[in-house]
Structure 1
């Protein structure tokens, strides 16, 4: 990471030196499970000044969320502070009882949680849920409460406020629900907001708008933000300082420019090297002119009737067309609802198109049925987004990888074992995992198992549906390297479904950008990223956190 890049990524504003609003000193936290105590945070210290954004950065298990929970007084029942201080406005609140902490939360310190879907009450209106925080802290005047609710909704961009106040969470998009959580968090004008992965579940353009809103509120009110994130690009864009955690200990701390330009710890250097939004894309080998067309999608239409509106159809995929050469990677990118997953499911034969053609190796998928369709699925395999949900928890890893051989290619036991062991070895896992359940494996190991299961039948096309989006950055980097290696060795053709353009830029040869079911732009990745023709594509590229090298600058 050079100094020029660091200066481009760092926030434009600086925070004047002042007494810290929050000071965490030598914090140690333990969890007790099954009678065994385990220290998960050990000796963590940092401070946050008024108006400052401090990013707690780290992967799963780093201790960043546990530290944030301790600051809020919201550790789970089996968690406890062993030592250290948490000073808010100079007062140590680490040992305060719940009654005193509850009075602080919302008023002096507030939380923006990660998942707006589970954080809002589905049976109460938006207005009632914002009003609740005012009522909890003593406001009784209904007129003043209503006026403040409408003011907050307007401030976070949810207009017309009167209508939004009457709506329920399910009537809002994910980004709009996150704005409701922000309205609740700032309702009492707290000095400190703890934002726990506030945009990790959102599309890139929605993510940018939410982070812009937080920046705007911070500048207006002088509110400090403790930003908990695993995304180095987001930290690079939005933080003044950063604390890098690993296994409960501080690996690196300092101004974001300094950490990006010259990280001192090996772990921080690895995070920087693996972050797709900060990486310089490696040149991919040119597609051989002799490579034939493995996949052809022509005029694909997938339509569904709209409930309660007779005769009206919703087009999930609308006149989608593209071609993929054998041995290459084609990415389908777009926001939620763009039609990319619908298109992928048509390619894999799980949906029969309303109109149009999907040809794999010259075979029209839509014309297949019965045994022919079942056998076709040997040629096209899927790797799903969530390795925690896509593997049967009751089976061993060996049985999971072996199952497709039972379904499609009955072979002798010895041959099955040889194929399974060979594939487990090829995806970089030891033989010992074969007898273990998925629960005994990490997220990255589980995704390797999912890839092994998809490849054991030697398919020609692999559809990867957000296959790395649930993984930490270093695990994600290793999986992307594995996919590239397997593609070279086995001549695989990939369809890579993703909302993460930074990852797409690293792995794909060609790309189709989708919006509202239609392809708005398609072509070689370098061409689309460096000379986007469509305004929507330009918006997507500009919203990549961390700048994505020179791409954002070029797109703008």
Structure 2
């Protein structure tokens, strides 16, 4: 496949960004390590080029190098970074300061850490105008309000007076976009701009970036690990692995006919791009559960939190009911604030509901006290979202997995260690990880350890709280495959909590969709996804990225291009 055809329309024009032979290295105790190995790509005016790849692929390093914000131990080893024809590689920071914001700008990944918590939103947006001497402070503040309106924030005058903590994640990301576009730069680098956002908020933010690109004619370098987002939003793709470009070209062509084995694997592993891989829950529920009973029964669940005043209660969960058959996977989906986390805390007996009841394997949780409650915790175990935060960095993997046995099972030490070794093998880890500590393991290996720790007590139910959302797509696919195998082997029941509907479609048998604490839809995954009854569920499903890939994939050859 030729990748040059897409550039011919712009041959006469100078690319906004022209990266050639870019090498980036990092210094550590053992010397210098090259992370990006001589890569080449361009971005033209009005074009979106997506840099895609997994952790360690070099995509964020490339973005940081372009805007001159590499970490202190990072440096350019070679190559050129031409911005509107001018090579800015090696420019001192003071010179780069003059073009950051005005010619090149960055929309960073984490809106929580990118805004100053003690300054108002209006002050922070106005600052970029003042620094670059585009307006005096009062006029800059008025322009900031206009920019907040432009990026779709309601009541922009009010938002300008507020502080970051008073805004939602989606609102804060819009503020960062307002700062990025304030001076109408030629190039916008969007570094994982929606990875921390709910699916519908993600779509709105990406729509906004797209609208602004069209309006201002800016070039956009979209850095993402999400193949679905890249498929829908980019004109061209650059696929990175271990700091080297595997292939690049027009998005539709590359997705339809990937040349490298790595790209083919990425596409095969991306849940949002593989509707066909989803199982048929109608068959699998019967196959898994047989005539099995409901192991989880939730009836009329209500959880109120007092927020002052006689009638000032907030209903985080409002009259929720669902049932889960033994040996199946039930997903609880919804956006931030939908009540997912509160629900699983109640089902796991970490908090008592205001009303309603939860029955686990015939036990009414309201009746559990003291020792019976402690022993109940063996029956249901949690696997959390972040394998980096849920494992004690000071302990060995052996000690981490053994700890639940010390709390519950008075086994001799030799038997405990034998059980730990067996469960580590069961989750697909080599025995030599047992004496290592979490920092020496990859994200996927850490999540396998977290699953092993949950399994060591032989529970009947695993609650998986966003358990694959922090993982790269191929690692995510491996963990989902592991969970499927363990369920079939051990007869486990899963409560799978997620905001990622593409993953839910792939792994779950049944699903409950929550919105503002209320159940808006439930049933077999195949039926809910195939024929959603509620507007909210339809909106969630519509927002799943990757539709353009499906169109490109199934387009007749004669119409391609």
TM-score by structure 2 length? 0.94
Task: Show the 5 A alignment for 1:307-346.
Answer: 308-346=308-346
1:36: Cα distance to partner? 1.4
Residue aligning to 2:145: 150
Match of residue 52, structure 1, among 43, 47, 65: 47
Take 2:95 and 2:421, find their aligned partners in 1: how far apart are those partners? 57
1:15–1:240 contact (8 Å) kept in structure 2: no
Residue aligning to 1:287: 285
Residue aligning to 1:103: 98
1:143: Cα distance to partner? 4.4
Take 2:424 and 2:242, find their aligned partners in 1: how far apart are those partners? 28
1:275-296 deviation digits (Å, cap 9, x = unpaired): 0000123424432341211100
1:264-307 deviation digits (Å, cap 9, x = unpaired): 1111000000000001234244323412111000011111101x
Are 1:349 and 2:349 counterparts?
yes
Residue aligning to 1:499: 499
Take 2:405 and 2:496, find their aligned partners in 1: how far apart are those partners? 24
1:367: Cα distance to partner? 2.0
Residue aligning to 1:169: 164
Task: Show the 5 A alignment for 1:324-403.
Answer: 324-403=324-403
Task: Show the 5 A alignment for 1:67-216.
Answer: 67-216=62-211
Residue aligning to 1:238: 233
1:15: Cα distance to partner? 7.7
Runs (4+) off by over 3 Å: 14-18, 308-311, 548-551
Take 1:143 and 1:316, find their aligned partners in 2: how far apart are those partners? 42
Take 1:542 and 1:492, find their aligned partners in 2: how far apart are those partners? 31
1:76: Cα distance to partner? 1.1
1:496-535 deviation digits (Å, cap 9, x = unpaired): 0000000000000000000001110000000000100000
Take 2:166 and 2:10, find their aligned partners in 1: how far apart are those partners? 42
2:273–2:550 contact (8 Å) kept in structure 1: no
1:277–1:549 contact (8 Å) kept in structure 2: no
Residue aligning to 2:448: 448
Take 1:535 and 1:112, find their aligned partners in 2: how far apart are those partners? 31
Take 2:548 and 2:459, find their aligned partners in 1: how far apart are those partners? 33
Take 1:372 and 1:287, find their aligned partners in 2: how far apart are those partners? 31
2:127–2:140 contact (8 Å) kept in structure 1: no
1:387-415 deviation digits (Å, cap 9, x = unpaired): 01001111100111111111111111221
2:252–2:549 contact (8 Å) kept in structure 1: no
Residue aligning to 2:539: 539
Take 1:400 and 1:150, find their aligned partners in 2: how far apart are those partners? 51
1:310-333 deviation digits (Å, cap 9, x = unpaired): 441111111110000000000000
Residue aligning to 1:510: 510
1:147: Cα distance to partner? 2.9
1:182: Cα distance to partner? 0.2
Task: Show the 5 A alignment for 1:423-434.
Answer: 423-434=423-434
Residue aligning to 1:523: 523
Residue aligning to 1:65: 60
Take 2:33 and 2:549, find their aligned partners in 1: how far apart are those partners? 40
Residue aligning to 2:16: 21
1:278–1:549 contact (8 Å) kept in structure 2: yes
1:487: Cα distance to partner? 0.1
Structure 1 pair 465/549, CA: closer, same or farther in 2 (3 Å)? farther
Residue aligning to 1:554: none
Residue aligning to 2:464: 464
Secondary structure of the structure 1 residue equivalent to 2:378: coil
Secondary structure of the structure 2 residue equivalent to 1:45: strand
Structure 1 unaligned blocks of 5 or more: 1-13, 552-556
Secondary structure of the structure 1 residue equivalent to 2:304: strand
Take 1:282 and 1:99, find their aligned partners in 2: how far apart are those partners? 52
TM-score by structure 1 length? 0.95
Take 1:492 and 1:544, find their aligned partners in 2: how far apart are those partners? 28
1:251–1:265 contact (8 Å) kept in structure 2: yes
Residue aligning to 1:221: 216
